[in-house]
Each structure stands twice: as C-alpha cells, then as structure tokens.
C-alpha cells in the first residue's frame, strides 16, 4: 500500500505540524496493518509538498504527483494543523472512499468546517461534539475541509468515468474558488460536489476530529494574563513538582 501525504504550504510549515507529521509517519510505518485475509500489508509512504501563491494550483499539482507515483491513498494534511499519530490508521480503517476530519476554522469566533445539505438545498454546519467523538461516530456530510482528509485514489477513476459520461475528456478542474455575491466558496466545496456528482459519499470521522487542532495566532493582552493567572500558577507548580520528584528519584538511586 502506497500512501501519498500531500501538503500544500505557503512558506514554512508550522513547528507543531512538523512534529505531528513525524509522529504520524513513525506510527503508520510501524503499525501492522492487515488485509481481509489477515495478512500483513506492506506500507510505503512519501511526502509531497507544493508551495505556490495559488492554493488550487498547489492542490492540482499534488494530485498529479500522487497519481504519477502510483499512490493507493492520498492523505491531505494542511501545514497549519496538528493531529494524532494514528490519524491515517484510524481513517483508513473506516474503509470509505473519502473520509476526513471536522475542525475549527482559523477565526474568532470560530465554527466547524464540515457541512451537510438540509431542506431547500442549503447547507448546515456539522458540529463535532464530545458525545459524537466518544461514540466514534462516522457521519455523512456534503463537504469538509482538506486540513486532514484521506482519499482512496480509485476516486479519480470514478471522476474520470463521470467526466466521460458527460462527454468530457478529463475530470479537471478538481479545485476551484467560486464567488457568490459577497461570499467566496472554497475549493474544497467544489471538489466534494464533484465527488457526490460521481455517486460517491463523503464522511467525517468525529473520533479523530475531536483530536485535530487548527493552529491560530492570537494577540495576547494583560487582560488574558489576569484571567489565566490560576492556570499559569497550576502549570508552574506541576512542572516544579515533576522536577523535584525526579531529583528525589535520582538521589535515591545513588
């Protein structure tokens, strides 16, 4: 099984993202994955990065890289996210053509990225709750973000078949920004509409989603320091206690 980890990035990746990626690679390559016969699946992974000023161009180029490499799965990871080491394994275990994660938008106030169609053709936001996460719920949605999303590469065969059925020679474009009034519709919405038009479904894994973080820079003021005074002191005290306990262990060992 060949896994193409595709990362569009503009400039440097975030340090915490890099740490998450390293842990994910170690876990994925050292976990024993079994096929339907109970036999071990050999796993190969590679990382593809593309940095352009146009996100849609980067995503198209990354899909091309994954197809050319002969990937079986494409794991989208955006460079400003953090995720658990077993992210790929858990998403892969869902055995769905498209399954991804719901996460908070990089905004304040924030909201989730996943949505599903409701009566009248409108979309309603899908919230990942602690209850859904504890139940490890899998929910069908209309679209979600590409921050953490696993795609079976056979999806592109289905997209090509649909394009030819419509009298087109190619499934391109896959990603496109649309402007509706004062609103810009993201490239993810465009992609997942093509997926659904090809007869495929899109799912959110609420269990993994609960552990996804979207890195967001905040402006910290003295007001925050005052509100968080107790939490700061508790963390400082805990760190000091761990140090003192360790020092006592070393002294006792001597």
pLDDT in tens, 234-246: 999 999 999 999 9
| Length of the chain in terms of residues written | 254
pLDDT at 107: 85
- CB of 41 closer than 8 Å to CB of 34: yes
Work out the number of other CB atoms within 10 angstroms of the CB of residue 46: 14
pLDDT reading at 211 higher than 90: yes
Q: How far apart are CA 175 and CA 117, in angstroms?
A: 20
**Residue where the block lists tokens 């740490």:** 19
pLDDT reading at 182 higher than 80: no
Structure tokens at 211: 């552990």
DSSP string over 28-51:
HHHS--B-TTSPBPP-EEEEEEE-
Sign for the CA dihedral angle at 66, 138, 126, 180 comes to: positive
SS3 222: helix
DSSP state of 120: G
In sequence order, the β-bridge partners of residue 180 are: 183
In the chain, % of residues over pLDDT 90: 81
Closest CA to 192 of 124, 115, 138, 133: 115
Residues 6 or more apart whose CB falls under 8 angstroms from that of 228 comprise none
pLDDT at 99: 98
Q: What value does the mean pLDDT take over residues 4-9?
A: 96
Give the model confidence (pLDDT) of 125-137 as tens digits: 999 999 999 999 9
pLDDT reading at 217 higher than 80: yes
B/e letters for 85-105, b = 16+ CB within 10 Å, e = fewer, are bbbbbbbbebebbbbbbbbbe
Q: Where are the beta strands (DSSP E) in the chain?
A: 2-8, 44-50, 73-77, 81-82, 98-100, 115-117, 123-125, 138-141, 148-152, 178-180, 183-185, 202-205, 213-214
DSSP state of 179: E
pLDDT at 180: 77
pLDDT at 11: 83
The helix (H) or strand (E) run that includes residue 160 is helix 154-165
pLDDT at 120: 66
What's the gap between Cα 173 and its chain centre?
22
Q: At what angle do helices 187-197 and 55-69 cross, to 10 degrees?
A: 50
The helix (H) or strand (E) run that includes residue 229 is helix 229-253
Work out the number of other CB atoms within 10 angstroms of the CB of residue 16: 14
Give the model confidence (pLDDT) of 45-75 as tens digits: 999 999 888 999 999 999 999 999 999 999 9
pTM to 2 decimal places: 0.90
């Amino acid at each position: 099984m060949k896994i193409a980890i595709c990362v569009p990035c503009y400039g440097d990746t975030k340090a915490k993202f890099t740490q998450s990626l390293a842990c994910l690679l170690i876990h994925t390559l050292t976990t024993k994955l079994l096929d339907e016969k109970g036999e071990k699946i050999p796993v190969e992974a590679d990382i593809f990065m593309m940095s352009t000023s146009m996100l849609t161009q980067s995503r198209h180029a990354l899909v091309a890289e994954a197809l050319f490499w002969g990937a079986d799965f494409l794991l989208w990871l955006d460079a400003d996210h953090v995720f658990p080491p077993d992210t790929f394994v858990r998403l892969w275990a869902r055995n769905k053509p498209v399954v991804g994660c719901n996460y908070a938008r990089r905004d304040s106030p924030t909201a989730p990225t996943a949505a599903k169609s409701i009566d009248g053709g409108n979309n309603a936001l899908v919230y990942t709750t602690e209850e859904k996460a504890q139940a490890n719920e899998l929910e069908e949605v209309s679209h979600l973000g590409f921050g953490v999303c696993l795609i079976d590469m056979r999806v592109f065969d289905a997209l090509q078949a649909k394009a030819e059925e419509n009298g087109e020679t190619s499934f391109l474009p896959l990603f496109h920004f649309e402007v509706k009034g004062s609103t810009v519709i993201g490239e993810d919405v465009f992609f997942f509409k093509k997926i659904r038009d090809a007869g495929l479904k899109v799912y959110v894994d609420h269990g993994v989603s609960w552990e996804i973080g979207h890195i967001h820079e905040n402006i910290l003021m003295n007001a925050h320091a005052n509100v968080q005074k107790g939490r700061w002191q508790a963390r400082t005290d805990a760190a000091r206690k761990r140090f003192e306990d360790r020092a006592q262990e070393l002294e006792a060992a001597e």
